[in-house]
């Protein structure tokens, strides 16, 4: 039995139908693949993205804002979407195991992730989130909140926030205790709620953690054997969408770093996944990282996906 941290993308959950029932249906299908994997004797910790979901929540916040119903801050919105997506996964997995007659406890945990308050991203926020504003609205919002709003590809102005590098899972000991007790634990959703430490207190900040980097830190903190990053394709590709595109089956850290240097991976999609995988296997040569689609999860023993080794 190996301990696996599985990172599931928020875009995979919000496929086409953004409704509550539409996303639950996608999660219910994902639960079948996860249950298949667990039934092979694997231990699992799940984390997930929340980009589309927290974006939609911020749109709803703007639409419903009033003096008596002000918008909530981003750290709270991250926690809210952690809770909702965690509930969907917990609900779906509980039902799936019950249907199979398999006794299995599942829990979702709102998770804080410590970041460095001096991370360079706080001086230069660049991650766009939430609704679009016209110039006058953006200037008024900046004057009111002190947030940073920037023009986004000619479509209007959006708030931009820092994306600091995750340092530590605050609840790591609780997670390890749950895993040791055989509980499938859903945590660090949306990269976790970013907090920094000051005078022995944690302070929530308006920032977003990258889900894949948070999954890597989670895997480090619980001493996982494998980091499995699920995405929309079966393999990593070089020359992607070109006539000479090539699926990568098994690569070393040195090869992965060479492909990064050659510019094969997009900064907003595949690149952080590969960087997280590199960071994880670099910590311990016995570890492996796998990047593949969720459909391949239960057949990883057949050497599917892209496997990264030291």
Q: Write out the catalytic residue numbers.
A: 10-11, 127, 211, 273
Which of 3, 5, 2, 4 is closest to 212 using CA atoms?
A: 5
Residue 226, both tokens? 């494998």
The CA–CA distances, whole Å, from 175 to 53, 67, 122, 156 equal 24, 39, 28, 41
The first and second tokens of residue 161, run together, are 């926030």
């Amino acid at each position: 039995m190996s301990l696996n941290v599985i990172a599931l993308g928020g875009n995979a959950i919000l496929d086409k139908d953004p409704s509550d029932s539409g996303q639950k249906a996608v999660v219910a299908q994902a639960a079948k693949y996860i249950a298949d994997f667990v039934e092979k004797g694997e231990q699992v910790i799940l984390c997930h993205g929340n980009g589309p979901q927290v974006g939609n929540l911020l749109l709803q916040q703007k639409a419903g804002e009033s003096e008596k119903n002000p918008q909530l801050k981003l750290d709270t919105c991250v926690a809210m979407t952690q809770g909702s997506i965690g509930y969907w996964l917990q609900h779906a997995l509980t039902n799936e195991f019950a249907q199979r007659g398999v006794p299995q406890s599942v829990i979702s945990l709102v998770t804080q992730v410590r970041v460095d308050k001096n991370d360079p991203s706080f001086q230069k926020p660049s991650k766009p989130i939430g609704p679009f504003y016209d110039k006058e609205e953006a200037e008024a919002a900046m004057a009111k909140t002190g947030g940073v709003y920037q023009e986004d590809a000619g479509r209007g102005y959006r708030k931009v926030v820092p994306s600091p590098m995750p340092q530590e899972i605050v609840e790591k000991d609780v997670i390890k205790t749950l895993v040791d007790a055989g509980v499938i634990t859903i945590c660090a959703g949306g990269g976790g709620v970013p907090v920094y430490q000051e005078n022995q207190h944690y302070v929530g900040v308006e920032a977003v953690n990258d889900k894949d980097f948070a999954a890597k830190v989670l895997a480090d903190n619980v001493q996982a054997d494998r980091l499995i990053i699920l995405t929309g394709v079966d393999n990593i590709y070089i020359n992607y969408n070109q006539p000479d595109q090539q699926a990568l089956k098994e690569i070393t850290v040195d090869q992965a770093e060479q492909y990064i240097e050659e510019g094969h991976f997009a900064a907003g999609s595949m690149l952080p996944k590969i960087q997280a995988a590199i960071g994880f296997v670099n910590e311990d040569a016995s570890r492996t990282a796998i990047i593949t689609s969720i459909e391949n999860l239960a057949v990883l023993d057949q050497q599917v996906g892209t496997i990264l080794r030291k």
